Every structure is written in C-alpha cells, then in structure tokens.
Amino acid sequence: MKCIKNILVPLVTTLAVISPVSVLAADSGEVTLSTNVEKTSSLTKLDSATTTPDDVKLNVVETSLDTKIPSSDALITNQVIQKNANNVRPEVIIAPSPKQLARMVWAAGSTEIIKNSYGHILTDKLLQNSLQDRPPSMSFKDSRTQDLVKKSSEYKNLIDSWVAEAKKNKVTSFTKNSSLAFASGELFTAIHRANIYTYGKVDKYGKWTLTTTISDKFNFELNMMGYYGKKGVEWAAANAAVISQGIGAIVPFDVVLVVEDTR
C-alpha cells in the first residue's frame, strides 16, 4: 500500500496544520489526535524538490490530550470540519413510508378520477380531508350538496312518508330519525350509510318546512364483490381504501350534511 501512503500523507499533513483537532502521523503505524493546536506539534517543513512524502515527520511535543488510534498504514482522517462548512452539501434521499406513498396515490387518484372523471366533487373533498393524521370534521350546507340529497330517491321516499304520517295524525310538527343508505350516485361513494334526523313543522301558509341533518363517519368497510354490483370497480377501490385505512393513510372523521326542504 505504498502508493496509497504517498498520496495520503501530504494531504493529512495539510489537514493537521489547518484543523482545530490536529492529526499527527508517523511511520510507526499509529495516528495521534490532539485537541490543543498550539501545544501539540511542530511540523518539519517540506521542500517539494528534495523531500519525499515518506520523509515527512511530525515531532510530537507536550500535549494536553493525546489519543492513539491504531492504523495499519497510517491512514489519516480529519475528524472535524470547521472551515467552509457551508460548502458541505450531503445528499440524503428519504423514501416515503407506505402511509405517505398511499396518501400520494389517493390524493392524485381522487383528483383525476373521482373528481375530474366521475364528477363526484363531494366524495373528492371527503377523501382528500381523510389523508391526514387528524382530519377535522366537515359540514356541508351548500346548494349543490343539498340538491344531491333532495334528488335522491332514498331521501325523498323517507321524507314523504314522514310528512304523510304527520298529516294523517293531524299534527303540525314532528321529529323523526332513522338510518339511511344511499344506493347509487355520488352520495353512494361519499356517504352510503348514514343517520338522518328531520324536524318538520307547518308554517302559517300551511306548508311543511323541513330541516334535515344527515350524519356519517367517513370510513371504508370490507365487503364482498357482489355488494357493489357487477363491474366491481367500486368494490376494488373501496377494499383498497380499507387497506390504506388499516395503515393509517386514510383516517375516518365525522361528516354532516344539512338540508333545508319544503313539502
């Protein structure tokens, strides 16, 4: 390893002079580190014309702290970087965790497929909100969301039956609650099963005014393929979401839809 030593010794000699922790090399096969630069060493000056690297000698004088490190060929490593520290640019590549990777995939897929392709804006909002460790609850009372509910056959059939019952009983107000499952469309992908609470009363014009609250826990449950129909696309997506929910990429949260209606 003579050739390696011829390259390293001049380099280490320079480092020993400029470093706050001096590095002292000798032919003895040992490296001496000292923390006191002023008292640690005197370096024999090199003349490039007459001195070879093997002639380099570092004369160790009295030191405040010396530590001997065995080295098979006096290979020296400077232990401290003091000058030009800003020029050090370590490149560290951190791979995303499975949870982070799943969130990246769901976020992109939700925007491109659920929102842009299917047009399920509410579903996209809910899914995007779930892609964080502590998602806040969400409440919707906008006209688009209310129209989605009002046009659904599940909601209309239930509300009509409650109003008809109130008329039959000749009451001017009622409070009803039940479970409700949306079987198709955007409310199927966004809500599906939920609890519904409705307060209705007759106004001075004889019309029923109704305030309905639909509450749900936005989450995903494992189901057999036939549960979602023949194509199985929703089945595959929902069960993939179950897996992502299991690793914490998708986090359940509470969601409320408020609907103002009349009959």
* DSSP string over the chain: -HHHHHHHHHHHHHHHHH-SSEEEE-TTSEEEEES-HHHHEEEPPP-TTT--GGG--EEE---S-EEEEE-TT---------TTGGG-------PPPHHHHHHHHHHHHIIIIIIIIT--HHHHHHHHHHSSSSPPPEEE--HHHHHHHHH-HHHHHHHHHHHHHHHHTT-SEEEEEEEEE--SHHHHHHTSEEEEEEEEEE-TTS-EEEEEEEEEEE------GGGG-SS-HHHHHHHHHHHHHHTTSS--EEEEEEEEEE-
Identify the pLDDT of residue 239. 85
**CA quadruple 52, 53, 58, 59: dihedral sign:** negative
Identify the pLDDT of residue 160. 97
Q: What is the mean pLDDT of each run of 10 residues along the chain (263 residues)?
A: 35 35 38 40 42 43 43 44 55 84 96 94 97 98 97 97 96 96 92 96 95 97 65 74 95 98 96
Contact present, 146 and 186 (Cβ < 8 Å): no
pTM as predicted: 0.63
Identify the pLDDT of residue 222. 82
- Residue ranges per structural domain of the chain: 2-87, 98-262
Which distant-in-sequence residues (6+ apart) come within 8 Å of 108 by Cβ?
none
Q: Render pLDDT for 26-41 as a digit per residue (tens, 0 to 9).
A: 333 443 344 444 444 3
CATH for 98-262 (3.30.450, 3.40.50, 3.40.190, 1.10.3470): 3.30.450
Closest CA to 191 of 108, 262, 120: 120
